[in-house]
Amino acid sequence: MTPADCYDPTGERFGIPTFPWRMAPDGYATRRQLRARGLRPGGQEVAAQVLRPRRRREPLAAYLYLVDRAQPVRPMTARKWGALALAMLARRTCPVCRRDAGYVIPRSLGMCAPCAYPPAQAVA
């Protein structure tokens, strides 16, 4: 598939308007782009897509939403902030020594670094 094959602004071929990668017209944005602007899709359906051809596989697709129909992101409540803080504390707490490590415990170790690598005891 070539970039020219990805151009279908009427949606006849793919069912929704389709544009080549980085060629979407103004007024469309991906979820990530909406979030960067402080917006969310707000329940609207996918309005268009951009396709990026790849050599031996199916093309990558990014779905686009209309910016003028997007809604503001809902602010987090105090309870959500509290729940997020507790979840992050649980990720930082060592299950062996039960202390806050100050960093997220690596899943490969399953415990903080001092517990995983205790200092060698001096032999008298």
Rounded to an integer, what distance in angstroms lies between the CA atom of residue 73 and that of residue 67? 13
Question: Strand 28-29 relative to strand 60-66: parallel, antiparallel, unpaired?
Answer: antiparallel
pLDDT tens per residue, range 71-111: 999 999 999 999 999 999 999 999 999 999 999 999 999 99
- Residues of the chain with pLDDT > 70, as a percent, come to 97
pLDDT digits (tens, 9 = 90+) for 30-42: 999 999 999 999 9
The mean predicted confidence, pLDDT, of the chain is 92
What are the φ and ψ backbone dihedral angles of 78, each rounded to 5 degrees? Answer: -60, -35
CA–CA gap between residue 110 and residue 102 (Å, rounded): 15
